[in-house]
Amino acid sequence: MTIHDFTSQPSLLHQFIAELRDVSIQKDSMRFRRNIERVGEILSYECSKVLENTTETVTTPLGTKEMIIPKKDIVICSILRAGLPLHQGILNYFDHAENAFVSAYRDHMDDGDAFEIVVNYMAAPSLEGKTLLLVDPMLATGRTMKNVYEVLLQQGTPKNIHIISVLGSMQGVDFVQENFPKNTHLWIAAVDDVLNSRGYIVPGLGDAGDLAYGTKRS
């Protein structure tokens, strides 16, 4: 796996991450969603630098020009519900992409710390031979990403896989590195050291789904 971790590369990206983490700013859910989108836009641009290209001839009012542009073989797949604003940010840039949605949740048996990942909905086009952008804002344990990927393989085997995340843990990064094909790329804006006993990233930012869309009944 090739890891593109922007944690220690100073840029505007970190202003958006700082606002996502900040307890007083993150309460503004519209800003929270937009900041996730903005991170998605920046990571899309970074990712576009390594995608397969194609040449297209463009007709201008004064002539023609050969342009090298990313191949239009991209499927963006996000994990509901927290993945939605990141999906939108990526779709803002890869606006020709096809789209896939999978729902997954953590089932905390007996309300303890242990949990199973339940994947219970998928709407996806064929993935055979395509470039899959697999999107989840929080790469905590990495188990959701792996379970979702295994379910997605029912739709065909993608040629290239790019995992795109806003914030991760070292454990999650190690897990995807061990469990995804070698040619996978991981694009991640920031990585924290610790996961707590319930699988939340510390210091992290809290529950990305709740911050974007409101608290849920447990």
Contact 191, 7 (CB under 8 A): yes
* Residue 144 CB partners (closer than 8 Å, separation 6+): 79, 104, 106, 117, 136
- CA dist 101 and 79 (Å) reads 6
Distance CA 210, CA 218 (A): 12
Do residues 141 and 116 touch, judged by C-beta distance below 8 A? no
Structural tokens at position 155: 């739709």
As a whole number of angstroms, the distance between CA 42 and CA 58 comes to 26
User: Min. distance of Cβ 64 from ligand URA in angstroms?
Assistant: 48
Q: How far is the CB of 115 from ligand URA (least distance, A)?
A: 11
Q: What is the per-residue binding string for ligand URA in 13-32, x denoting contact by CB under 6 A?
A: --------------------
Measured from the CB atom, is 127 or 138 closer to ligand URA?
Answer: 138
Is residue 200 at the binding interface for ligand URA, with CB under 6 A as the rule? yes
Number of residues that bind ligand URA (CB under 6 A): 9
- Is there binding between residue 208 and ligand URA (CB under 6 A)? yes
* Residue 201 engages ligand URA in binding (rule: CB under 6 A): yes
Shortest Cβ 80–ligand URA spacing (Å): 13
Q: Is 207 in the site for ligand URA (CB under 6 A)?
A: yes
Task: Find the shortest distance in angstroms from Cβ 57 to ligand URA.
Answer: 45
Question: Please, are residues 35 and 20 in contact by the beta-carbon 8 Å criterion?
Answer: yes
Binding mask 79-118 for ligand URA (x = CB under 6 A): ---x------------------------------------
- Within 121-150, the residues that bind ligand URA by CB under 6 A are 138, 140
- Shortest Cβ distance from residue 104 to ligand URA (Å)? 11
Q: What share of the chain is helix, strand, coil (3-state, %, to 5)?
A: 35, 35, 35
- Characterize the bridge pairing of strands 98-107 and 63-70: unpaired
> Does 158 participate in binding ligand URA (rule CB under 6 A)?
no
Residues of this chain that bind ligand URA (CB under 6 A) = 82, 138, 140, 200-201, 204, 207-209
